[in-house]
Amino acid sequence: MRRREITASISFLVLALVSLEEALKLPVGNWKVPGPGFFPIVLGFVVLALAASSLGAALVQGKTEPSPVPLFVSSTGKRRVWLAVSALIGFNLLVDVLGFLLTTFLFLVVVIRLLSCQHWKILLSISFLLSVFLYVLLDLFLKLPLPKGSIGF
């Protein structure tokens, strides 16, 4: 367990340092008008501090007992994780073809079905309402350019 914590901490340290290196290439701006590099720099320092403290804690503590609960209790848990990852990949591949609204609806149907066995009527209505809410929030209020897809919405 200790080796995993050390490995994860070092990985996040490297990620934070690489992120900071790239973020420092962007203009920072000032407190009144932050530039595009401001948030990535702050986030990089936060990740760096958390990773360093996690590494310090892992190095200071002695050998820990193995966790009594396995990561995946059953093979269905592992299967659900891989299906959720596949759904994310599918979302990424389909969003430009089908558009944001339809792809988000399909993604939510798959993920909600994987995470909980809801009745189909509830599942479809939650997916529909959440998709429309996200579309209205991102497209109409925040004016973010969302992929329209070949269908047009």
DSSP label at residue 25: T
Q: How many helices (H) and strands (E) does the chain have?
A: 5, 0
pLDDT in tens, 45-81: 999 999 999 999 888 876 655 555 565 566 777 788 8
The DSSP annotation for 69-102 comes to S-S-SSHHHHHHHHHHHHHHHHHHHHHHHH-HHH
pLDDT at 31: 76
pLDDT at 141: 87
pLDDT at residue 77, rounded to an integer: 74
pLDDT at 5: 86
pTM for the predicted model, two decimal places: 0.57
Structure tokens at 63: 């050998």
pLDDT of residue 114: 83
- DSSP structure string for 132-153: HHHHIIIIIIS------TTTT-
Give the model's pLDDT for residue 125: 92
Q: For residue 61, what is the enclosing H or E element?
A: none
CA–CA dist 98, 147 (Å, integer): 8
Looking at residue 16, its pLDDT comes to 93
* 24: helix, strand or coil: coil
d(CA 34, CA 120): 46
Residues with pLDDT less than 70, the chain: 1, 62-74, 117, 152-153
pLDDT at 27: 87
* pLDDT given at position 101: 93
Q: What is the pLDDT of residue 124?
A: 92
